[in-house]
A and B are shown apart, each in its own frame.
Chain A
Amino acid sequence: RKEVEQDPGPFNVPEGATVAFNCTYSNSASQSFFWYRQDCRKEPKLLMSVYSSGNEDGRFTAQLNRASQYISLLIRDSKLSDSATYLCVVIFLSSGSARQLTFGSGTQLTVLP
């Protein structure tokens, strides 16, 4: 079983739609959670951290459910410029030298005019 799993999509949605992505993780000792965005042939860029209480940044809302071990990203009022691959990232600490980041496989979003 992969440590971090995402629905690869693709998600094709019309402009203005609301879309949600989920990501599950298997390591209950996971400490921190992030959503990164990666445009085609570009580097991943941090979109937002995910906090236990949930957090919002404009049209983007991230939530964490530790009991069920998943995080989510909600995008409201989708824009064409939101088209990208969204990567779920989980960090956990282990004894010795810890892996710094574990990436999900990414969810591809295309917002259609």
Chain B
Amino acid sequence: DTEVTQTPKHLVMGMTNKKSLKCEQHMGHRAMYWYKQKAKKPPELMFVYSYEKLSINESVPSRFSPECPNSSLLNLHLHALQPEDSALYLCASSRGLAGVQRATDTQYFGPGTRLTVL
């Protein structure tokens, strides 16, 4: 089973709202990721959690706030977003190997949350 689930599937929010995106996996993976994908563009990495600790933040604005409550869950808290933040937000997970093995650590993606900011 290589399933990563994400909720909600679709989200429409105003610029003053606070909302959260959720991601869950039960594959025992220890690395989880948030990506942002605009139309006709490849996914862009936002955050990486490794063993529930934030290990990479790709200079993402503070209006995006990740949280990893446990090894199976990953949240992305949204506050005061802008219309240009509208995109598909993808969560992924991988086994989270160490050292050089990290290079072969295959990532599995969830179906994404399509976010529209009005």
Contacts from A to B (Cβ < 8 Å): 31-32, 34, 41-46, 49, 87, 91-93, 97-101, 103-106
Contacts and interface: CB of A to CB of B under 8 A. Distances in A.
B117 to A, nearest CB: 18
Interface size class of B (residues with CB under 8 A): 20 to 34
Contacts of A99: 45, 56
A77 to B, nearest CB: 26
B100 interface: yes
A94 to B, nearest CB: 11
Interface of B: 31, 33, 40-43, 45, 48, 55-56, 88, 90, 94, 100, 102-112, 114
B110 A100 contact: no
Contact of A43 (B102, B103, B110): B110
A50 to B, nearest CB: 11
Contacts of A104: 42
A105 B37 CA distance: 11
A105 B103 contact: no
A45 B107 contact: no
